Amino acid sequence: MSSFAGFFDIFKRIYIEGDGLKLLGEGLLSTVIMAVFALVIGVLLGIIVAIFKVIPNNNFFTKILNAFANVYIAVIRGTPVMVQLLLAYYAIFVSAFREFRFRALIIAIIIFGINSSAYVAEIIRSGILAVDKGQMEAGRSLGLSYATTMKKIVLPQAIKNILPALGNELIVLIKETSVAGFITVFDLTRATRSLVADYYEAFVPYITLAAVYLILVLGATFLVNRLERRMRKGDNR
């Protein structure tokens, strides 16, 4: 009981009487922005890379696209996201967005999006391959081009099939953003590290951090499950 009271006293001193709640809110906003926008970039790039992978290798150009997709996925998935962040911030984009206040946040979103796209591409590719081949053949027999058939017929069905996997990717992104502080992004983890340094307390801030991440993940899971149920109801009508 005394341990619980001590925990609450420290929590009150940091987050209620101090500036802990304000800092945590700022970090939470950055984390959510990074995860959501990185997923959008990841899905858009992932669709393109997935199409490069499944497009028939009928000529030299399509073979180049397929090879590019394979190399892209291998390189992005084969290197740690933290290394990609450091390389982008301190080398590739060293002079980009220099005068912009949110430079680090933009770079983090871009890199997390690129990293996510390599995984999303494989997810979407699996979804495309799961769609009956007759769907593509039917579209082509109606005079539609390969691109139009893919856009109007195949991809919508594939997205429905892979929605749970995309939800898992959002959860992974939420947790991966915890390394963004290494390039000075004021995310949840960096905010907590700041509180630990200011108040000389580690246990309560890090337990609170874990609880916030857990709530974020549970919230994302709930939203994805709800969206999936709505899409299923739409299919049954």
Burial 29-61 (b: 16+ CB within 10 A, else e): ebbbbbbebbbebbbebbbbbbbbbbbeeeeee
CA dist 105 and 34 (Å) reads: 7
Both structure tokens of 225:
């499950």
CA dist 231 and 212 (Å) reads: 29
Q: Is 237 exposed, middle or buried (0-12, 13-18, 19+ CB in 10 A)?
A: exposed
CA dihedral defined by 139, 144, 145, 151, rounded to 10 degrees?
A: -70
pLDDT for res 146: 78
| Cα first-last separation, the chain | 55
What residues contact residue 192 under an 8 Å CB cut-off, 6+ apart?
24, 27, 205, 206, 208, 209
Q: Are the CB atoms for 159 and 127 separated by under 8 Å? A: yes
- Residue type for position 184: T
pLDDT for res 1: 45
pLDDT for res 165: 86
Helix 203-236, helix 188-199: angle, nearest 10 = 160
- DSSP annotation string for 131-178: S-HHHHHHHHHTT--HHHHIIIIIHHHHHHHHHHHHHHHHHHHHHHGG
Show the domains of the chain with their CATH numbers: 2-236 (1.10.3720.10)
Q: In order along the chain (237 residues), what is the average pLDDT of each group of 10 residues?
A: 73 89 94 94 94 86 92 95 93 74 89 95 89 81 81 83 86 92 92 93 93 94 84 64
- Which among 196, 188, 175, 180 has a CA at the least distance from the CA of 23? 188
pLDDT for res 231: 73
Q: Are the CB atoms for 110 and 180 separated by under 8 Å? A: no
Planar angle of CA 210, 212, 214, nearest 5 degrees: 70
